[in-house]
């Protein structure tokens, strides 16, 4: 990696036999278990001579968090709370992202309800 990038493993809170293909469960576990640990990591790394991973190297303040927007929006919230810059990576298609980002507007316009159920009949051409 280089001196300015360091990868750190953070446990997701799931057991070794838990199904990580269950994305809903994995996402909930990541938010509940990883978010507090990442926030602590950021705060401790900002302390002078921080020994975040126990090796005493004091690698210093975290300046940016890069998160997968699909499952890691909690990391962007942690970055915001700690005053760290952040960037989102979207590994899926742009069409999927556009659809997801349109949900609040679809709810506001009463096309779908808060559960994603269609509220009115519409003809759509895709």
Determine contact, residues 113/119, Cβ cutoff 8 Å.
yes
Token code pair at residue 101: 């980002």
CA angle at residue 79 from 73 to 81, to 5 degrees? 105
Token code pair at residue 66: 């890069």
3 and 18 together in one domain? yes
54 and 1 together in one domain? yes
- Does residue 36 register a pLDDT over 90? yes
pLDDT at 94: 82
96 and 42 together in one domain? no
CA angle at residue 44 from 43 to 47, to 5 degrees? 95
Our count of domains for the chain comes to 2
For 117, the domain range is 92-126
**pLDDT band, residue 59 (cuts 50/70/90):** low
In the chain, the largest separation of any two C-alpha atoms, in whole Å, equals 62
Average pLDDT rounded to a whole number, residues 99-116 = 88
**pLDDT band, residue 98 (cuts 50/70/90):** confident
Q: Please tell me the pTM assigned to this model.
A: 0.65
């Amino acid at each position: 990696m280089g001196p300015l990038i360091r990868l750190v493993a953070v446990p997701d809170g799931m057991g070794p036999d838990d199904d990580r293909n269950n994305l809903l469960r994995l996402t909930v576990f990541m938010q509940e278990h990883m978010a507090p640990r990442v926030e602590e990591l950021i705060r401790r790394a900002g302390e002078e001579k921080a020994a975040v991973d126990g090796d005493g190297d004091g690698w210093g303040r975290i300046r940016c968090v890069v998160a997968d927007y699909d499952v890691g929006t909690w990391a962007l919230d942690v970055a915001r709370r700690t005053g760290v810059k952040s960037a989102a990576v979207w590994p899926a298609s742009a069409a999927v992202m556009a659809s997801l980002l349109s949900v609040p507007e679809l709810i506001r316009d009463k096309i779908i309800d808060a559960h994603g159920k269609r509220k009115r009949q519409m003809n759509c051409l895709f």
